[in-house]
């Protein structure tokens, strides 16, 4: 019997709705709609929570209607509703979470609360035949995590960031360099024309286990700007490509080294890569090269599933539903929701 899931993602500044169908072991994305707010927040240099929640409220209903139409299903054909419960911005989470609960109550169907990071964790497997054990590297704007995933719901956190996440460091360095928000894609674009060895930036905590720290790298870029322009500390236009390439390479070196080290320690031959920063082509290429050289397999979330989206939330909700799990309508959102305690 086919199972159809509708899920909502509204943890930050992307409003997203997706509908998935599971039939005889096959999972199809019937619809995946996203309304981006990047242009709205760009003029402020970052996400403004009040504007984000207001735009979620404005765009969510039309997105649900479009998703249902694209999927060719009615609301009564949905078997369960899922929504992100955290982590994220409280005001944003409430919009999507409350809407999904309301739909579930109105139709008499189950509601499933989903951890946003579990969505990223499982996203590389959307389109695969089954979930398999792996060493997962999740790299996003707010998180940098190494997780040993043995099975659905069986996760061990091996390492995480002690300060700035990789994506956060990208955005902050991008702002230092005078690049538009968000900084990650802009730095990657500039880095293509720069030299990764032009500036010697630190690779923090390379010999200190599986945790990450990128604040020192961010500070090193700031100090370098002071040397290049002692009076204003601004980035000379002709130095920006080299600064971006050198910064990006420092981040990639740390991420790849730690992922391979973690895979070796937990005995996994499969490494998965997900999260918004995993869209970075240089990171993908470096991780693929390292996996090839070490005889490991690499599975990367598709670009459309790497940034915030509802398909990954629906995928988690589907696996929960198939196992007979559902959430209480009284369960609240949690802006600081943890996926797993440190191992």
Q: Model confidence over 154-206: pLDDT tens digits?
A: 999 999 999 999 999 999 999 999 999 899 999 999 999 999 999 999 999 99
Read off the tokens for 209. Answer: 């286990």
Mean pLDDT of 211-227: 95
Centroid of chain to Cα 262 = 20
CA distance 239 to 70: 47
pTM, rounded to two decimals: 0.95
CA distance 55 to 49: 10
Q: What is the mean pLDDT of the chain?
A: 95
Residue showing tokens 């930036």 = 201
CA distance 119 to 84: 9
Q: Strand, helix or coil at 175?
A: helix
pLDDT tens, 46-55? 889 899 999 9
pLDDT of residue 342: 55
Q: Strand, helix or coil at 161?
A: strand
Yes or no: say if 131 and 239 are a contact pair by the CB < 8 Å rule: no
Break the chain into its structural domains and give their ranges: 3-126+308-322, 134-300
Helices (H) and strands (E) in the chain, counts: 11, 10
The CATH superfamily of 3-126+308-322 is ATPase, nucleotide binding domain (3.30.420.40)
Q: Is residue 343's pLDDT more than 70?
A: no
Read off the tokens for 308. Answer: 């915030």
pLDDT of residue 114: 98
Q: Work out the pLDDT band at 40, boundaries 50, 70, 90.
A: confident
- Percentage of residues in the chain with pLDDT exceeding 90? 90
SS3 labels along 246-297: HHHHHHHHHHHHHHHHHHHHHCCCEEEEECHHHHCHHHHHHHHHHHHHHCCE
Q: Does domain 134-300 have CATH number 3.90.800.10?
A: no
Give the β-pairing of 144-151 and 134-139.
Answer: antiparallel
CA distance 194 to 228: 16
Yes or no: say if 82 and 314 are a contact pair by the CB < 8 Å rule: yes
Q: Is residue 144's pLDDT more than 60?
A: yes
Do 3-126+308-322 and 134-300 come out as alike in CATH topology?
Answer: yes
pLDDT of residue 191: 98
pLDDT tens, 256-284? 999 999 999 999 999 999 999 999 999 99
Nearest Cα residue to 276 out of 56, 36, 95 = 36
- DSSP code at position 136: E
Distances (CA, A) of 86 to 35, 83, 207, 289: 19, 9, 32, 34
Q: Strand, helix or coil at 204?
A: coil
pLDDT of residue 341: 65
Yes or no: say if 306 and 123 are a contact pair by the CB < 8 Å rule: yes
Q: Is residue 91's pLDDT more than 80?
A: yes
């Amino acid at each position: 019997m086919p199972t159809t899931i509708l899920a909502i993602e509204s943890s930050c500044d992307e409003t997203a709705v997706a509908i998935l169908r599971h039939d005889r072991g096959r999972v199809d994305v019937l619809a995946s709609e996203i309304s981006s707010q990047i242009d709205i927040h760009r003029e402020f240099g970052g996400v403004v929570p009040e504007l984000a929640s207001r735009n979620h409220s404005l765009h969510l209903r039309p997105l649900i209607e479009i998703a249902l139409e694209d999927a060719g299903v009615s609301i009564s054909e949905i078997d369960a509703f899922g929504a992100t419960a955290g982590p994220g911005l409280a005001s944003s989470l409430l919009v999507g979470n409350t809407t999904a609960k309301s739909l579930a109550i109105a139709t008499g169907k189950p509601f499933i609360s989903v951890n946003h990071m579990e969505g990223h964790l499982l996203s590389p497997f959307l389109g695969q035949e089954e979930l398999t054990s792996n060493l997962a590297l999740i790299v996003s704007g707010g998180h940098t995590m190494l997780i040993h995933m043995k099975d659905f719901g069986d996760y061990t956190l091996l390492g995480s960031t002690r300060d700035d996440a990789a994506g956060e460091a990208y955005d902050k360095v991008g702002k230092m360099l005078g690049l538009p928000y968000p900084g990650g894609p802009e730095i990657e674009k500039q880095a293509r024309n720069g030299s990764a060895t032009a500036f010697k930036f630190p690779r923090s905590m390379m010999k200190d286990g599986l945790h990450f720290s990128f604040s020192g790298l961010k500070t090193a870029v700031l100090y370098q700007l002071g040397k290049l322009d002692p009076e204003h500390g601004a980035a000379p236009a002709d130095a920006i490509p080299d600064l971006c390439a050198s910064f990006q390479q420092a981040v990639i070196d740390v991420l790849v080294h730690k992922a391979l080290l973690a895979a070796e320690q937990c005995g996994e031959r499969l490494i998965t890569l997900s999260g918004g920063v995993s869209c970075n082509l240089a990171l993908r290429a470096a991780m693929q090269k390292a996996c090839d050289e070490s005889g490991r397999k690499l599975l990367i979330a598709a670009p459309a599933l790497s940034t915030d989206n509802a398909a990954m939330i629906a995928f988690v909700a589907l696996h929960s539903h198939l196992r007979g799990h559902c959430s209480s309508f009284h369960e609240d959102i949690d802006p600081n929701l943890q996926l797993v305690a440190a191992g």
